[in-house]
């Protein structure tokens, strides 16, 4: 057994010789040629119409699209936001956040029937969607359906308690009714 191990070691040393390192000897440093990496050729400057081939492509996600749409909503541009949300709904069907914002913008544009449909869809997708519960409750108040709004308030309370923003906002919308 010892002879087989020694034989394998000798074969390995013959096939893969190691540099001799002893007193006073050093392993030579690699030469510049061995370590130099080829440099890419200079590229012409790019313009907005000619993006750099090394630039990462922009990937749209539902989050990035909704972030852009919320800018329109926060600016009061509800018609623009609604059109963008309808497009997002085609790209991301059955998304509770998209449907919630479709309901919100429709409600702001006084399209109450359409708004109610979107909130219902958002809550079918995610029954615990706090934003949809709050906004649907606000729609109920607009439509003078106080008991339905209070039902949504109770659902919000069961999910996040009385200190979350959605509870506080809907409670304020209901007021003393």
109 and 69 together in one domain: yes
How close are the terminal C-alpha atoms of the chain, in Å?
94
pLDDT bracket for residue 93 (50, 70, 90): very high
Tell me, what's the pLDDT at 4?
53
Average pLDDT of the residues in 103-130: 98
What tens digit of pLDDT does each residue of 132-154 get? 999 999 999 999 999 999 999 99
Q: Residues 109, 161: one domain?
A: no
pLDDT at 58: 64
Q: How high is the pLDDT of residue 120?
A: 98
Same domain, 134 and 87: no
pLDDT at 108: 98
Q: What average pLDDT score do residues 75-94 get?
A: 96
Tokens of 45: 């400057």
Listed residue (86, 151, 74, 83) closest to 118, CA to CA: 86
Query: Residue 3: inside a domain, yes or no?
Result: no
Q: Which range of residues forms the domain containing residue 152? A: 130-177
Please report whether residue 72 resides in a domain: yes
């Amino acid at each position: 057994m010892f002879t087989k191990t020694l034989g394998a070691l000798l074969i390995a040393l013959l096939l893969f010789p190691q540099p001799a390192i002893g007193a006073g000897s050093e392993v030579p440093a690699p030469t510049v040629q061995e370590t130099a990496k080829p440099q890419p050729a200079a590229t012409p400057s790019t313009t907005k119409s000619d993006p750099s081939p090394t630039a990462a492509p922009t990937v749209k996600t539902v989050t990035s699209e909704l972030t852009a749409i919320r800018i329109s909503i926060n600016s009061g541009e509800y018609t623009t936001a609604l059109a963008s949300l309808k497009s997002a709904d085609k790209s991301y069907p059955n998304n509770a956040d998209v449907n919630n914002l479709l309901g919100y913008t429709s409600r702001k544009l006084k399209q109450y029937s359409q708004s109610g449909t979107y909130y219902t869809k958002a809550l079918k997708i995610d029954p615990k969607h706090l934003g949809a519960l709050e906004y649907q409750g606000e729609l109920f108040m607009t439509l003078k359906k106080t008991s339905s709004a209070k039902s949504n308030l109770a659902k919000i309370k069961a999910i996040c308690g009385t200190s979350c923003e959605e509870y506080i906002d809907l409670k304020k919308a209901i007021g003393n009714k």
